[in-house]
Amino acid sequence: MSRLGSLGARLYRGEVGYDFVGKRKIWYAISILITITAIVGLGVRGLNMGIEFSGGAVFTTPKTSISETHARVKAEEASSHPALVQKLGNGTLRIQISELDTKQSVKVQEKLASDLDMKTSEINTQLVGPSWGEEVASKAWLGLAIFMVLVVIYLAIAFELRMAIAALISLIHDLSITVGIYALVGFEVTPGTVIGLLTILGYSLYDTVVVFDGLKESTRGITKQSRSTYSEFANRSLNGTLVRSINTTIVALMPVAALLFIGGGFLGAGMLNDISLALFVGLAAGAYSSIFIATPLVVDFKEREPQMRALTKRVLAKRAAAEAKGAPEMEFEPDETTERDDDDESGYGGDSRGAATAGTTGTRSQPASRARGRGRPSGKRR
């Protein structure tokens, strides 16, 4: 069995774990710092809107050996505006210049033909008006609002309202970071960017829903016991799904990284950059927020309830009494449904009943529930 799989089994059984919930103030501070940096970048640099949103012209030249740098310099001299030049696979150049009207585009086309030693008729010109981009943006905002409302309703029904609010906050956190990084990197915002941003909404919620489902199952009837607090159950549930979240995130990031670094970096495919950067940042931020933001927020919300406050007092009082007697209380006591054989490397299918007597002839295995009191001074169940 792989080391990662073995670690996942140990996390699932509760043998090892990291106190994610207990250190939530650190994660909150890191997220606030990242979010502020993204917002500052967005306010200072702003988004580099494509011609679909700002309007402009796209010039396509015939097959040529002219470099992208030379063509960009000539295009900026001809138009007095920043130009984006891409070398297409068939050897042609795609020159994109924003904020050009029809009269200006004709002059730029003639100037480009003269500077690049081409005929004016050989350069194809396509004008794009800003109204189309505004329509796309308005529909994207409408779709985002509808999606968030439906997410809150669904999670409130499937889980509870506090979990829905925590998931919504983590989703806004992911979108803010993605948009801020777009501003800092300076990538052009195109309809492909909008598609990427809308796509990451589902990915951002995937890990969060997985963790919430495990948390819901593990905390069912939590107020009827006095062994562990809500935060301890939440932390144990989070550790149990940690490796699964890491694996699914890595698998999802690998093809997106190939699009971003290979397709966009080496092949110069601009549209791939627009979609892949949004997906890459959104997936990474979604995995982070599901572990470090969403679940700790649920704990903060839940521990304000009177029932959970009373539970915490009972647990702490019981542990203080046990420590006073010199017999510290276990944080998590195994029960019949969660006990596993420590020698089972898979960690998911072993049954530990009778493990202590395995290999002893003539000894009958006892149910696990009867062995719960072993190791205590009185030998009695509490």
Q: How far apart are CA 301 and CA 107, in angstroms?
A: 62
Radius of gyration, alpha carbons of the chain: 29
Of the pLDDT bands very low, low, confident and very high (cuts 50, 70, 90), residue 378 is very low
The pLDDT value given to residue 28: 92
- Which is more confidently placed, 344 or 3? 3
**Under CATH, to which class is 56-128 assigned?**
alpha beta
pTM of the model: 0.69
The pLDDT value given to residue 334: 41
- Whether the pLDDT of residue 4 is over 70: the answer is no
- Closest Cα partner for 315 from 382, 241, 379, 368? 382
The pLDDT value given to residue 344: 40
- Which is more confidently placed, 151 or 260? 151
Q: Where is 260: in which H helix or E strand?
A: none
Sorted by where each begins, the domain ranges of the chain are 3-48+132-307, 56-128
Q: Cα torsion at 128, 131, 137, 138 (round to 10°)?
A: -160
Give the mean pLDDT of the chain. Answer: 76
- Whether the pLDDT of residue 253 is over 50: the answer is yes
Mean pLDDT of the 16-27 span = 84
The pLDDT value given to residue 379: 46
- Whether the pLDDT of residue 143 is over 50: the answer is yes
Helix, strand, or coil here: 154? helix
The contacts of residue 278 (CB under 8 Å, 6+ apart) are: 178, 182, 193, 196, 197, 199, 200
Mean pLDDT of the 42-60 span = 81
- Whether the pLDDT of residue 234 is over 80: the answer is yes
Q: Which CATH number is 3-48+132-307 given?
A: 1.20.1640.10
Mind listing the pLDDT tens digit for each residue in 165-221?
999 998 888 888 888 888 888 777 877 788 888 888 777 787 788 888 888 888 888
- Which is more confidently placed, 114 or 15? 114
Mind listing the pLDDT tens digit for each residue in 291-303?
899 999 999 999 9
